[in-house]
Amino acid sequence: MGKFYITTPIYYPSANLHIGHAYTTVAADALARFHRLRGDDTWFLTGTDEHGQKMEQAARAAGKEPLEFVDGIVAGIRELWRVLDITYDDFIRTTEPRHQKVIGDIFTRLWQKGDIYLGRYEGWYCTGCEAYYTETQAKDIGYHCPDHDKPLERVGEDAYFFRLSAYAGRLREHIERNPEFVQPPSRRQEMLSFIDQGLEDLCVSRSSFRWGIPVPFAPGHVVYVWIDALCNYISALGYPDGERYRRYWPADVHLVGKEILRFHTIIWPIILMALGEPLPRRVFGHGWLVLESGKMSKTRGNVVDPLVLVERYGLDAVRYFLLREIPFGADGYYSEEALVRRTNSDLANDLGNLVHRSLSMLKRFAGGRVPAPARREPVDDEIPALAGEVVESFASSMEDLQISTALAEVWRLVGRLNKYIDEAAPWALRRAGDERVNTVLYQMAEGIRLLSVLLKPVLVRSAPLMWESVGAPRPFTEVTWEDTRWGLLPPGSPVKVGEPLFPRRELGGALVTTPHAAGPEDKPGAGPAREAATARPAGQAEAGKVEQDRGIRVAEAGEGEEGLVSIDAFRRLDLRVARVTGAERVPGADRLLRLRIDLGGEEREIVAGIAEHYRPEEVVGRSVVVITNLQPARIRGIESRGMLLAAQEGGRLVLVTTDGDIPAGARVT
């Protein structure tokens, strides 16, 4: 068992937090959960940075004392972390006595060492950033803060300074010798360049306002916010001689937004050097969630409330989107449409469909219990082998903080399991009396169990349900990394078929309530997504509005990068113009029509879920577009050989046809 100490920035509670803050904290939470799963002695710290001139001004504008003002916002932050199920071990507030005492001691110690001295500061200052700019820096940005969209102020006052410049060479050497210290690598050169431009001594006290930690030996001065805030990472552990400090320091990961990376990789390590303390092992500056209007900012008012998103789409959908959509470390565009696409494609179509159809077949084909494996074929051995690869690469990616890559690896197994079910066709094995059906059913159940373990750090609501659905023997709270080994699910375990884990959503959070075709007779509970791939595309919102920006996507999501299908894979789809020569309702099925189609000399039958939108006589004689090379499916005893294409918006469904007189059998390209 190793040690793992991870921190988020401590957030500035001048207003409610937005989805960008949630992005940082959910990522830190997933990493902390992963390391607990691995068996590491893990400590996860977050908190709030509550001092400074901006906070004093905001409180005054609200007619409150600063602490009273801050208390209300901090309560909202704690509530947000509760809703997002953030499993922090400690929440530090810079107004707490435990923190203030440590800051006073640190400031005094640096003063006594000669690393802090009294001088006078005159320079350009942004109240919103709580940061000074050199003349060159101020000139480069036109003496106007780009983040807070207001002019810099010229400030002059007596102040204490920290000898930052004295440690520049030592810090540069540390960064060069420890390439993992500044991450991702693209940020490392930025910090080296900043050092090479020359470090100026840092102003570390203010006397023009009072809302801060008093400098112990200088009445009228308060500690500058970056000394105050940065030292939270050790004050929370009981620096200098607390048991937790000895146990967890140095930090393994400081997780911060890239806009404050400079403070954490230059000012903070130099403070630690001056104190004679070890430096954190890694500081990771992730990118921004960017809107069409630009960088998300409380000051600009272009923020997205994560509480609203959780209410609309569910906790797991929001957590998964934040961690999967953007390669960790890069900027990424946020939109609610993108969240809906991820929810419907990855969670509903891929994972949710895999779980629901597997459980339904286990219930019907094996009496609701996981069967013991029997006869095997070579393809059956591919699944355990792939599972082992996925487990290894998932762990490696999480160790490297590449959370999006880790989830892509998990979805490689999800896609292969969906494809394996189609290839193995357990319904056909059962019909033929082939005992191999038990092998296939066992691997479906075991795949769900293993996926639940890998997804434990991310899908905090759904992963336990997956574990329980296949009758895994221990409580999910007792799951460890040992449970990622293949083949641990005992035969005879009872399965539980519930509602689909991830219902498909429309923009705004409404459930997709389009009509479904009946599932194939020997494939009960195939679920809406799988029915869309066998019986019909009609009625699938994600085939039109939801998936339109994502490109061609298949339910198995196994070909091409990130679930996208390559052009070669697309060419394997045989799309043809067909003429409907006959149509009739399927007895006992309100939504199904039985169609006879002419493919230019070849006749086929297709069962399509369009009866609520077209009467039989309305489709006879029409030219339609059909996918002709799908595996046949039996629906209500009828062999359906192909799939009609249709578009849907709201409750309206329209068959796809051609513009012009094209003969039956013509290829659609």
| Residues classed as catalytic | 18, 21, 126, 129, 145, 148, 295, 298
CA-to-CA distance for 58 and 356, rounded, in angstroms? Answer: 51
Give 381's contacts (C-beta < 8 A, 6+ positions apart).
none
Look up residue 431 and give its amino acid.
R
653 phi/psi in degrees, rounded to 5: -125, 135
CA-to-CA distance for 338 and 547, rounded, in angstroms? Answer: 9
- Say if residues 16 and 305 touch (Cβ distance below 8 Å): yes
- Say if residues 417 and 384 touch (Cβ distance below 8 Å): no
Please state, as a whole number, how many other Cβ atoms lie within 10 Å of the Cβ of residue 442.
Answer: 22
Q: Which residue has the tokens 């298949």?
A: 554
CA-to-CA distance for 455 and 466, rounded, in angstroms? Answer: 10
Which SS3 state, helix, strand or coil, does residue 578 take? strand
Look up residue 258 and give its amino acid.
K
Please state, as a whole number, how many other Cβ atoms lie within 10 Å of the Cβ of residue 585.
Answer: 14
61 phi/psi in degrees, rounded to 5: -65, -30
Q: Label residues 473-495 b or e (16+ Cβ within 10 Å = b).
A: eeebeebebebbebeebeeebeb
632 phi/psi in degrees, rounded to 5: -60, 150
Beta bridge pairs of residue 585: 593
Six token digits for residue 235: 């004050």
CA-to-CA distance for 417 and 395, rounded, in angstroms? Answer: 20
Separation in Å, CA 144 to CA 127, 153, 263? 12, 9, 20
Six token digits for residue 548: 């339109």
Q: What percent of the chain is helix, strand and coil (3-state, nearest 5)?
A: 45, 20, 40
CA-to-CA distance for 409 and 562, rounded, in angstroms? Answer: 9
CA-to-CA distance for 237 and 216, rounded, in angstroms? Answer: 22
Full strand arrangement of the beta sheet holding 643-644 = 603-608, 593-598, 575-585, 623-627, 643-644
- Say if residues 261 and 232 touch (Cβ distance below 8 Å): no
- Say if residues 538 and 613 touch (Cβ distance below 8 Å): yes
- 3-state DSSP of 579-597: EEEEEEECCCCCCCEEEEE
| Widest pairwise Cα distance in the chain | 97
Separation in Å, CA 44 to CA 8, 49, 652? 8, 17, 50
